[in-house]
Chain A
Amino acid sequence: MLARIRASLGNAAKHPAPAKLPPFVSQTLVTDGEKLTAEFESEIERVGGQVAHVHSSDQVTAYLSVLPLTGDESSVAISDGLLIKTLRIREWLLTRKTRVVTWQEMPSMEAYRRELLKCGIGVTCADYALADTGTVVLLSGREHHRLASLLPPVHVCLLSTDNIFPRLTSLMDHLSDEAYARERPPHALTCITGPSRTADIEQQITTGVHGPKALHVLLYSTETSKA
């Protein structure tokens, strides 16, 4: 097929790599850390997500404890993200006698999936976030958060405020030199902006059609006092 494409385009059989397009600079970026967090917050609320600031394990568990768990979906799935481990979320859930589903404790992928379908809440970390669209970004590799962030009807996402980028270009610049420059780039990168939605019937927006109906982002920073 390549030969036919070349013939159609009138390109020579072995031509050198085409010259790159000049870099593109558009709109100015917010870079101030404070402002980034504020922008991220207002954007995520605009698309129907909820945000809270947390600084300690207690605050996270207090937030989780008020989220309802009912009927068939009474288990909680937690991923193996670093922040989840440091904040000891699993230990807290066990003291409350909640059934906890984790990837590590499952005998097989099938079993894990089956259990996930019975979870009411999925708790994961996010690797990055984008301020201008209110997006959280999950990168596969270190953490098993692909399914835990998708199957349960409620997704709670922990995010360190240090990892907020102004917008997609800045993150892509960063990742192109880092994760995607490796021999083995990340298998899956998922950008999540608000809950799952559809407008397929009479253009009326309805949430939770296939993915989570609710998205809660817990912005974690170590500083304890905040105005």
Chain B
Amino acid sequence: MSTDNTTQPESFGENSRRALTNPLLQRALTIATVKATSARSVAVTHVGPANWEQLRDRAHAIKKHTIENLDFYLEKFAGNVERLGGKVYWAQTADDACKYVAELAQRRGVQEIVKSKSMMSEEIGLNHALEDAGIKPIETDLGEYIVQLANERPSHINMPAIHKTRSDVADLFAEKLGVERTEEIAEMTALARRVLRARFAEAQMGVTGVNYAIADTGTIVLVENEGNIRLTTSLPRIHVAIMGIEKVIPNLQDLDVFLLLLSRSASGQKMCSYVSLLTGARSSQDEEGPDEFHVVLVDNGRVEMLSDKQLRESLYCIRCGACLNVCPVYRKIGGHAYGWVYPGPIGAVLTPQMIGLDRATSLPFASSLCGACGDVCPVKIKLPDMLLHLRQRINDNGHIKTKARKRDRLERLSFKFWAMAMKTSRRYRYVACFGRLVQALIRKRNANGSVSLRVPQWSDTRDFPPLARRSFREQWRDRSH
């Protein structure tokens, strides 16, 4: 886990308040999420809603089937990688995985590693581990490079620098790279290319993530737009791919469905610029590509997540980012507020499972339960159900502070009373009548001139609308006379 960052999941409330009062962040978030969401909608319309549903069902079915037989497919995948000259390392914890990579680099005398964007590498905190071992990790994805220069954490799973405006990046490049400041995006991009090309030309070792792993052939699949993954996997002498054990799918034919869904859900593209299928080590000295190929299979809590039938589905995630882009909470607070590696709805489900329910009690509540995340998820993960389920668990385990629990009791009592009042129309009429009489006592005028009621705690963060002077029934009766 990264530790250099200021935000933590424990301080979610405070993080979000800070985000809400940052106008630049608000602007950056709106531009990016609106663009991504509308691009996605257009792409889905092109496929046709019926076809899209069919694809989502298929992807869900493949994931379900593979996860339920994960032992079988993982064994097959690992067997094939080894048969074709690759090395497989089974890492139970984040530390195991980091240690393997760092020690391999040390054994081979590598001082600098070029990396492509990988959420797994963020999850295990690989960059820190490498730095501690005296090895310099260099992020090569443009967004990730920006974030690394700024010494921050990515705030989105596939648009890492979503929180930065062009002027932020211009300042950063001028300061860290000692170049003349420019806000021209094309120039900044060309500059990054030049700087990173020099690193690629020297690099002895490349580290990537994995989008899909094909059990049948021992192939890893990498999807990107920039070309830095192609460079990372073809120039250095050693290639290490790090993947969560849930990334396996049975065979090459299954890939089509996922590629169809992934690019469209992430950015509205039909197909990303580059998709690489890499199988084993190169077969001869005559072939292009690295001499050594290593796959690190990471558990880091996933095996335990498998045993949890209610939350197991969160392992189907293909990290497209669509649920972040549509989430009304993410759109306002951005990724850093979540305080850990995975933000947005999927982060609110994964983080409590990975770092402990007690450290992330706020996250499952960071949702309006509008259901948008579940509707867009290309693998049909029932995110809203899981969020509710986690809320229940947090409540049952007594993770909520006493003050909140007291409020909780009051809330439960009020709802009981409400249910009783709604039982018959007569009761309802009486209660409403009584309410109309007493509501004047708790009326308040809001900043924007509207009127609402003051209900302790409840109305701190939302409006409680007053009852109308005359009920609908009364008005109706008057009209029909």
Contact = CB atoms under 8 A, between A and B. Distances in A.
* Chain A contact surface mostly: loop
A191 interface: yes
A1 B303 contact: yes
Interface stretch (A30-38, A52-60, A198-206): A198-206
B226 A198 contact: yes
Interface in B337-377: none
A114 B200 CA distance: 11
A196 B226 contact: yes
Contacts of A190: 230, 274-277
B185 A206 contact: yes
Interface stretch (B7-15, B69-77, B120-128, B443-451): B69-77
B31 A26 contact: no
B71 A210 contact: no
A134 B263 CA distance: 14
B84 A185 contact: yes
B255 A168 contact: yes
Interface in B295-320: 297, 299, 303-304, 306-307
B105 interface: no
Interface residues of B, number: 88
Nearest to A48: B273
Nearest to B198: A117
B106 interface: no
B454 to A, nearest CB: 42
A172 interface: yes
Contacts of A212: 227
A205 to B, nearest CB: 9
Contact of B304 (A8, A189, A198): A8
Contacts of B276: 188-191
Contacts of B231: 150, 210-211
A50 to B, nearest CB: 15
Interface stretch (B129-137, B158-166, B400-408, B409-417): B158-166
B54 interface: yes
Interface residues of A, number: 69
Interface string B270-282: 1111111111111
A80 to B, nearest CB: 11
B51 interface: yes
B152 to A, nearest CB: 14
A198 B272 CA distance: 11
B226 A210 contact: yes
B142 A209 contact: yes
Residue with the greatest number of chain A CB neighbours at <10 A, chosen from B65, B143, B201, B274: B274
A140 B269 CA distance: 26
B94 to A, nearest CB: 14
Most buried by A among B146, B160, B272: B272
Contacts of B92: 1
Which of B84, B197, B227 gathers the greatest number of chain A CB atoms within 10 Å? B227
Contact of A176 (B227, B252, B289, B306): B252
A15 B73 CA distance: 12
A47 B270 CA distance: 9
Interface stretch (A17-25, A63-71, A82-90, A219-227): A17-25
Given A8-B303, A8-B306, A194 B273 contact: yes
A1 B297 contact: yes
Chain B contact residues: helix, strand, loop or mixed: helix
Contacts of A175: 252
A216 to B, nearest CB: 15
A5 B84 contact: no
Nearest to B92: A1
A211 B84 contact: no
Given A201-B189, A209-B142, A188 B277 contact: yes
A195 B72 CA distance: 39
Given A24-B257, A180-B252, A187-B279, A200 B146 contact: yes
B69 A209 contact: no
A185 B70 contact: no
A173 B253 contact: yes
Contacts of A168: 255-256, 259
A214 interface: no
Contacts of B71: 2, 5-6, 9, 11
B189 A5 contact: no
B288 A193 contact: no
Contacts of B392: none
B217 A150 contact: no
Interface of A: 1-2, 4-9, 11, 15, 17-18, 20-21, 24, 26-27, 43, 47, 103, 109, 113-114, 117, 132-135, 140-141, 144, 146-147, 150, 167-169, 172-173, 175-176, 180, 184-204, 206, 208-212
28 contacts: A1-B303, A4-B303, A21-B61, A26-B55, A140-B287, A140-B288, A168-B255, A168-B256, A169-B256, A176-B252, A186-B279, A187-B281, A187-B282, A188-B276, A188-B289, A189-B276, A191-B271, A191-B275, A192-B274, A198-B225, A198-B226, A199-B267, A200-B146, A200-B161, A201-B142, A203-B35, A211-B226, A211-B231
Given A18-B65, A21-B250, 19 more contacts: A2-B71, A20-B250, A24-B58, A24-B257, A26-B55, A103-B288, A113-B201, A135-B271, A140-B288, A140-B289, A150-B227, A185-B84, A193-B270, A196-B273, A198-B226, A201-B169, A201-B188, A203-B159, A211-B227
Question: What 4 pairs across the A-B complex have the smallest Cβ distances?
Answer: A211-B227, A200-B143, A210-B227, A8-B307
